[in-house]
């Protein structure tokens, strides 16, 4: 069931993730990674990278998450972006990405990218589709560990901060 954002907003909390969020981040991501929509992450990987995660709560339930991965002093990535199925298309994805962009800006980063199956969503937020080869930092640090390394069908998008 989808709700209008104006109805949700008073109850929304956007915050940094804490240890208690690991299970809900894992479950939200797994519901999509099981269907091949998102790359899977283990609980220990989420734990190791917890400081990078922002989450959204609605009525004390964690319903969305996303992580900011820094590659260089200029370039970062939106990773592990998920809105719980029953809350999609209510504006939460936009709130989360804009919050991660604000965090990146405040850190002094200059560009933010993503590898995605939903480039149209990112285009709505000002990202442009580009060639993946523009991001060797991503390819060599994260993509080499991915099972789809030789057969990547995701689209690269980037925005200036
Ligand atoms: C992609 C995802 C994060 C978007 O979150 P969301 O809360 O549903 O999106 P929003 O409601 O904030 O949408 C913002 C805008 O993008 C558009 N949009 C959202 N999903 C879209 C899609 N799949 N295709 C095209 N446009 C889309 C919306 O229509 C809206 O446009 P508007 O501002 O003109 O009304 C969410 O659908 C999701 O979790 N998907 C599964 C996991 C995934 O693919 N994550 C991305 C990994 S990079």
Domain ranges, residue 125: 5-160
User: What CATH number does residue 11 fall under?
Assistant: 3.40.630.30
Residue 11: its pLDDT value, please?
85
Ligand 1 centroid distance, CA of 115 (Å): 14
Spell out, as residue ranges, where the chain has pLDDT lower than 70: 1-8, 139-140, 147
Considering only CA atoms, which residue is closest to atom 36 of ligand 1? 83
Q: Residue for token digits 């991915």?
A: 146
Ligand 1 centroid distance, CA of 113 (Å): 16
Q: How many domains does the chain have?
A: 1
| Average pLDDT of the chain to the nearest whole number | 91
What pTM did the predictor assign? 0.92
């Amino acid at each position: 069931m989808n709700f209008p954002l104006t109805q949700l907003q008073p109850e929304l909390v956007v915050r940094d993730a804490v240890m208690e969020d690991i299970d809900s981040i894992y479950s939200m991501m797994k519901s999509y990674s099981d269907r091949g929509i998102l790359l899977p992450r283990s609980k220990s990987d989420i734990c190791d990278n917890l400081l990078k995660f922002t989450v959204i709560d609605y009525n004390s339930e964690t319903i969305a998450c996303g992580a900011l991965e820094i590659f260089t002093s200029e370039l970062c990535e939106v990773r592990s972006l998920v809105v719980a199925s029953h809350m999609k298309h209510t504006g939460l994805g936009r709130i989360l990405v804009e919050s991660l962009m604000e965090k990146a800006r405040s850190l002094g980063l200059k560009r933010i990218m993503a590898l995605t199956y939903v480039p149209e969503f990112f285009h709505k937020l000002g990202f442009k589709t580009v060639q993946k080869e523009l991001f060797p930092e991503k390819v060599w640090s994260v993509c080499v560990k991915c099972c789809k390394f030789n057969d990547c069908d995701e689209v690269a998008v980037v925005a200036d901060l």
